């Protein structure tokens, strides 16, 4: 009897040990299965977010150290993708002929998605400017850079120049998306068909009547008035007589002292454009080009003289800075104007030159002008055939967003110091 009891106890103990082993094995099985499932989810997530559209910056990243509505960044909404729009737009940019060569063989356009009209390749791939996910990502990145205002490249509806994409149809999307990220939008008005003093008045009235009530529409204080601000590209192409019709207080179609009044900024490229701007009754000017030495206005060493002249004429001077320049994927003959980024050193030199003249506003060329390689939008390494796109290595994909943020911080500090002294 006692022997039977011992055998029973031994059997029970063995069963208990066996049960523990099975439980351990089962727990290990569950653990391994969990790892496999998580790895699979991560793989699916990576596949789904190949171009980063679903990736959200962490709370620390999306909260900028600073943000300033005195910092304006040029933004281009002209891109189209086959997936979203049914065709590519601008990514398939053609090779532009050299205007100095009379008979040059016409080059075929680029063929996205791998072959695009840019020396860099965007992290988001050849995206659509109309895609809400893209817009949301862009606004998140711009806010992170510290720039508070998008200067959106814009054509009036039905007045686009040949081969240009209509953009007015997505302006409300841009304004809404900007508002969601506490950003503001102003208009960078491109040359359009039949541009004249009378027609610029019609265009400004259209902008105000259509978009002026939107919460993201940018206005700033100027001479005691809260006014919208406009950039007018290639303003020197129109005579000062025509501009004066709209911008002079005595002009035939004057916008002044009306609900359509604003701050109108022309482009200063050559030195003689200063007189043209003053005679046209512009309120100020910007330099746009991110190419030191390309034109008088874009040459850093000239900015002190330009600033002094602007003060004499009571004009606002907004220097434009950029991280570099390269456009040989659309202008293969223009390599002499390439400006290497040098891991941010070129951008830094431009910023310091701008800081020297103590401007009230600063403009950045650009967030996403990919054709001319001035973008601060994240880019990634990529190879297509024998061609290797440029990238930001050894810096990170978002290096120029971070660098811009540091510039904005310094710029705001200078503005605050100027106000304290004043």
What CA–CA distances, in Å, run from 364 to 127, 348, 386?
A: 22, 12, 32
Q: What is the mean pLDDT of residues 264-271?
A: 98
Per-residue pLDDT at 71 exceeds 60: yes
pLDDT digits (tens, 9 = 90+) for 160-213: 998 888 999 999 999 999 999 999 999 999 999 999 999 999 999 999 999 999
400 three-state secondary structure: helix
Please work out, in degrees rounded to the nearest 5, the angle formed at the alpha carbon of residue 357 by the alpha carbons of 353 and 359.
Answer: 110
- 155 dihedral zone (left: phi>0; alpha: psi -120 to 50; beta): beta
The full set of domain ranges for the chain reads 8-54, 68-420
- β-pairing, 225-232 vs 263-267, is parallel
Per-residue pLDDT at 329 exceeds 50: yes
pLDDT at 96: 87
Q: Confidence band (pLDDT; 50, 70, 90) for 28?
A: low
Per-residue pLDDT at 50 exceeds 90: no
324 contacts: CB under 8 Å, gap ≥ 6: 290, 339, 340, 341, 342, 346, 347, 373, 374
Cα gap 174→176, rounded to integer Å: 5
Q: What is the CATH number of domain 68-420?
A: 3.20.20.80
pTM: 0.85
Per-residue pLDDT at 80 exceeds 50: yes
> Can you tell me which residue has the tokens 């002249």?
309
Cα gap 42→5, rounded to integer Å: 55
- β-pairing, 284-286 vs 263-267, is parallel
Per-residue pLDDT at 21 exceeds 60: no
* Mean pLDDT for all residues in the chain: 88
Q: What is the mean pLDDT of residues 3-24?
A: 48
250 contacts: CB under 8 Å, gap ≥ 6: none
Q: What is the mean pLDDT of residues 219-232?
A: 97
The secondary structure of residue 287, as a DSSP letter, is -
pLDDT digits (tens, 9 = 90+) for 99-114: 666 545 567 899 999 9
């Amino acid at each position: 009897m006692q022997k039977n009891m011992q055998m029973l106890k031994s059997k029970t103990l063995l069963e208990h040990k066996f049960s523990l082993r099975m439980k351990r094995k089962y727990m290990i099985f569950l653990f391994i299965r969990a790892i496999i499932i998580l790895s699979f989810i991560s793989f699916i997530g990576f596949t789904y977010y190949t171009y980063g559209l679903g990736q959200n910056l962490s709370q620390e990243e999306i909260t900028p150290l600073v943000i300033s509505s005195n910092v304006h960044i040029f933004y281009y909404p002209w891109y189209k993708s086959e997936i979203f729009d049914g065709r590519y737009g601008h990514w398939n940019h053609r090779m532009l002929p050299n205007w100095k060569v009379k008979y040059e063989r016409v080059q075929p356009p680029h063929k996205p998605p791998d072959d695009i009209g840019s020396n860099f390749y965007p992290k988001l791939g050849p995206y659509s400017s109309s895609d809400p996910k893209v817009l949301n990502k862009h606004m998140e990145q711009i806010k992170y850079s510290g720039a508070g205002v998008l200067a959106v490249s814009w054509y009036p509806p039905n007045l686009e120049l040949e081969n240009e994409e209509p953009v007015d149809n997505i302006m409300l999307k841009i304004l809404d998306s900007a508002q969601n990220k506490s950003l503001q939008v102003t208009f960078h008005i491109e040359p359009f068909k039949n541009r004249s003093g009378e027609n610029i008045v019609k265009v400004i009235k259209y902008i105000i009547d259509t978009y002026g009530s939107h919460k993201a529409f940018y206005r700033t204080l100027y001479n005691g008035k809260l006014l919208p601000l406009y950039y007018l590209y290639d303003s020197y192409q129109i005579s000062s007589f025509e501009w004066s019709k709209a911008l002079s207080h005595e002009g035939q179609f004057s916008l002044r002292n009306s609900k359509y009044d604003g701050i109108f900024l022309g482009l200063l490229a050559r030195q003689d454009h200063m007189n043209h701007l003053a005679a046209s009754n512009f309120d100020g000017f910007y330099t746009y080009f991110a190419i030191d030495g390309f034109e008088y206005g874009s040459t850093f060493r000239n900015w002190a003289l330009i600033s002094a002249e602007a003060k004499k004429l009571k004009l606002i001077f907004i220097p434009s800075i950029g991280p570099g320049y390269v456009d040989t994927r659309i202008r293969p003959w223009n390599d002499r104007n390439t400006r290497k980024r040098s891991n941010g050193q070129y951008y830094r030199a431009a910023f310091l030159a701008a800081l020297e003249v103590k401007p009230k506003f600063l403009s950045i060329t650009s967030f996403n002008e990919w054709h001319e390689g001035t973008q601060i939008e994240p880019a990634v390494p990529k190879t297509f055939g024998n061609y290797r796109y440029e990238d930001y290595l050894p810096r990170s994909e978002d290096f120029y967003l971070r660098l811009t943020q540091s510039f904005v911080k310094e710029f705001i500090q200078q503005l605050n110091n100027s106000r304290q002294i004043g």
